[in-house]
Amino acid sequence: MKSSGNTILITGGGTGIGRALAEALHALGNEVIIAGRRKEALDAATTANPGMASMVLDVEDPAAIKAFAAQVTAAHPRLNVLINNAGIMRPEDLRKGETADAEAMIATNLLGPIRLIAALLPALQKQAHATIINVSSGLSFVPLALTPTYSATKAALHSYSQSLRHQLKGTTTEVIELVPPGVQTDLMSGQAANPQMMPLAEYIAEVMSLLKSQPDAPEICVQRVGFLRFAEAQGRFDATFDILNSQHR
């Protein structure tokens, strides 16, 4: 992906990684549209970044996604980059037999990107060059047992991204997977202040450096996520799983 001259839509762009990415890309001269459920968070981001646009979107709602796709492409006909960043992460005790949180995470983290890609792909493919970036997780590769459905949705998004990339081979649309480690955001309670998590500014700086230096890379993996991303390939999956989950037995 080229680093400037794009028209970029970022879901979950009002807070956390989404907002930080939006600000970094906006600063490079890209036209940036952020989308999310909470208008107040979107307004705070656009107020702090004059020229950035926002639109409310509930990615759990299939009808809302279709209407949103029509609206955003009409308002921004040069849209050529979609960043599927919106996500929710909730702890689960599978022994309780409850599925409400699981269903919400599947709808937001997996069905949301799939539906939005389907709705926007015809418009993206009309551009001279387009990019779809799916934000997965290091937990795609080694699950955190405390958050089983979150980990599973991100693993599914990784697999989906691989197939999408293959199907779009030879077209003008590329597919990039952004694989974050644990980052200091409000994704989970207490995470923003957790010293074991990667500072958000540090994460974004490394991501932007990688995007500039490796514009054709299919995956963007900062150094810290390699512990999870390459655990199986390096023959240490079981040991890594045990380390990751030792505090949640």
203 is catalytic: no
Contact indicator for 197, 28 with CB cutoff of 8 Å: no
Find how far residue 64's CA is from the centre of its chain: 19
**Which one is catalytic: 68, 150, 160, 203?**
150
Tokens of 162: 């691989």
- Pairs from 210-219 (Cβ < 8 Å, separation ≥ 24): 211/1, 211/3, 212/3, 215/1, 215/2, 215/3, 216/174, 217/176, 218/165, 218/175, 218/176, 218/177, 219/176, 219/177, 219/178, 219/179
As annotated, the active-site residues are 150
